[in-house]
Amino acid sequence: MTWYEPLLATGQAILLLVGLTLIYRILFRAEERRPWARCIITRTRIWAYVSMFFLSGLWLVHQWVSLSGRGLILKVLYLLTAATLTVLLVEALSAFVYDYFLIQRRQASVPALFRDLARGIVYLILIGLFIWGVLHIDITPLLTTSAIVSIIIGLALQETLGNVFSGLALHLSRPFSLGDWIEVGNYEGKVERIDWRATSIRTLSGDFVVIPNSSLAKQDLRNYSSPTSHHARIVSVGAHYNHPPSLVTDTLLAAARSSAGVISDPPPKAWVTTYGDFSITYRLKFWLDDFSDHDDIESNVMRQIWYHFKRSGIVFPFPIREVYHHRSEEGTPDLLGDGAVLGTIDFFKPLTAEAMASLAQRLRHDLYPRGDIVFRQGDPGDRFYVVKSGLVEVAIRNDGGDLLFSTNLGPGSFFGEMSLLTGDPRSAAVRVLEDSVLLSLGKADLKDLLDRHPKLDELICDAIAARQALAQDRMTDMGLASSPEGGSENETRRRSNQLLGRLREFFSY
């Protein structure tokens, strides 16, 4: 053997390794667009590089054996290379069957437990075939010995094996899946992991709870996510005996429908349940689609119930007797404050102090929480609103839902006058930006006021026409509308006369 022959063999092995690596990289780039190839390459990349390393080493040792005659190293390397290639093929087959065919093509949910079990069985079969076919060893005594050892191990690991088989039973019956919200014993949480020994859930408080599969299989289990993610919640509310049950149940349903997170199908339901000493108890059932937010949604429903009860005049009774002593003062602060707010509105300024006080007594006080919807664009309505405190947003959208115009209204601003005066559907949507108190006036109240003040209808129409002209000018400046023909002043007068005619027709006078 000359001095350069080992160097030549080493160089050939290195070139072989580099060549195999380049071929693998080229194939990887060419096939990465195909889903099945991507699944195989992702799972077998490490084993592919290990196999290439052993193949290169096998070439090197083969050249050395021909030079030195050392065959033992060659046999060992043959064995290692065959083992890595076998693992590579098994992992590639596993990736194709599970990752691509079952998960991507069939959209099946394959537990990792079954995948590991199948791979383990394949490896055991291959090891048995190697011992029997290559090493020529009779495996019958080995199987007999293995059975005895299995009995001993089974007795020693009885609880562990119970967890394993319980895990298999859970996978077969599939009472829950990863991501489901379940209740087991005293724990509620989202299923994060299912393995051979235990199932792990994450509770609403962020705790990670590990439950042995054998214990899980013995307990009652409630799944909040299957067969559907819809979940019902029930709250109980008491109302005074003075209120008709139909009014209370309708108000409860309206509160549920206006709460964020409550779905419309199935619709909410309300029942009368008991007659107590101080109140009638009602139950409200509503549905939600995300159990993880059930505390927030239930709190929002209870919050909406308070505001809806307040606006409807429904009283929450309680068995506490309180006596309030106060001195009578001239006037009523609330009414005087309402009159001051109304006095800032253009078409109410000509009213006398007596008429303003009479109007203030007819106003209804409505409390609206932040985020609540007063009405939506296109809704019917017959009430006119004045912002006493807080802030609301008025938004106009086109048929496609694109925002055309929006503005914020604070104390002293008014809206909803067109539906009150003409019966038209709401031309804009109004959303509450801050907790607000809204004063509202109904059609019957305005009719009585118009009968006693004949010129009031003209003042109202002039003010509304001027307001519409201002909105028209803003939209023209934004490029969303064209300038009116004949000038804005003539357009304002035309709108005022048109509105006056519709108002008198709507109120039949």
Is the peptide bond between 369 and the residue preceding it cis, with omega within 30 degrees of 0? no
Letter for the amino acid at 478?
M
- What's the angle, vertex CA 233, arms to CA 222 and CA 293, rounded to 5? 80
Same domain (yes/no): 459, 388: yes
User: Domain with 189 in it: what CATH number?
Assistant: 2.30.30.60
Residue 157: per-residue pLDDT:
46
Residue 285: per-residue pLDDT:
96
Same domain (yes/no): 342, 443: yes
Same domain (yes/no): 92, 182: no
Same domain (yes/no): 235, 210: no
Helix (H), strand (E), coil (C) string for 187-199: EEEEEEEECCCEE
Query: From CA 201, how far away is CA 194, in angstroms rounded?
Result: 9
Same domain (yes/no): 211, 240: no
Residue 235: per-residue pLDDT:
94
User: pTM for the whole thing?
Assistant: 0.54
Same domain (yes/no): 182, 255: no
Same domain (yes/no): 218, 235: no
- Tell me, rounded to whole angstroms, the distance of Cα 175 from its chain centroid: 23
Query: From CA 354, how far away is CA 453, in angstroms rounded?
Result: 12
Residue 229: per-residue pLDDT:
84
Same domain (yes/no): 237, 211: no
User: Domain with 440 in it: what CATH number?
Assistant: 2.60.120.10
Residue 236: per-residue pLDDT:
93
Residue 287: per-residue pLDDT:
94
Q: Say if 324 falls within a structural domain.
A: no
Query: Would you call 489 helix, strand, or coil by DSSP?
Result: helix
Indicate the burial class of 385 (C-beta count within 10 angstroms; 0-12, 13-18, 19 or more).
buried
pLDDT digits (tens, 9 = 90+) for 250-284: 999 999 999 989 999 899 999 999 998 788 999 99
Is the peptide bond between 266 and the residue preceding it cis, with omega within 30 degrees of 0? yes
Same domain (yes/no): 298, 346: no
Q: Say if 162 falls within a structural domain.
A: no
List helix spans (H) across 95-240.
112-133, 140-156, 158-173, 213-218
Q: Say if 317 falls within a structural domain.
A: no
Q: Say if 166 falls within a structural domain.
A: no
> Which of 246, 278, 312 is a domain's end point?
312
Q: Say if 478 falls within a structural domain.
A: yes
Same domain (yes/no): 284, 373: no
User: Domain with 307 in it: what CATH number?
Assistant: 3.30.70.100
pLDDT digits (tens, 9 = 90+) for 4-14: 566 666 666 67
Same domain (yes/no): 141, 193: no
Q: Say if 164 falls within a structural domain.
A: no
Q: Say if 325 falls within a structural domain.
A: no
> Which of 312, 341, 368 is a domain's end point?
312
Number of structural domains in the chain: 4
Which domain does 273 fall in, by range?
Answer: 231-312
Contact 223, 176 (CB under 8 A): yes
Residue 269: per-residue pLDDT:
95
Q: Say if 118 falls within a structural domain.
A: yes
Q: Which residue ranges in the chain fall short of pLDDT 50?
A: 67, 155-157, 320-325, 328-333, 486
Same domain (yes/no): 471, 355: yes
Owner of token pair 């049950």: 245
The DSSP element (H or E) to which 8 belongs, if any, is helix 4-31
Rounded to the nearest 5°, which phi and psi values hold at 230?
-70, 135
Letter for the amino acid at 435?
D
> Which of 223, 246, 264 is a domain's end point?
223
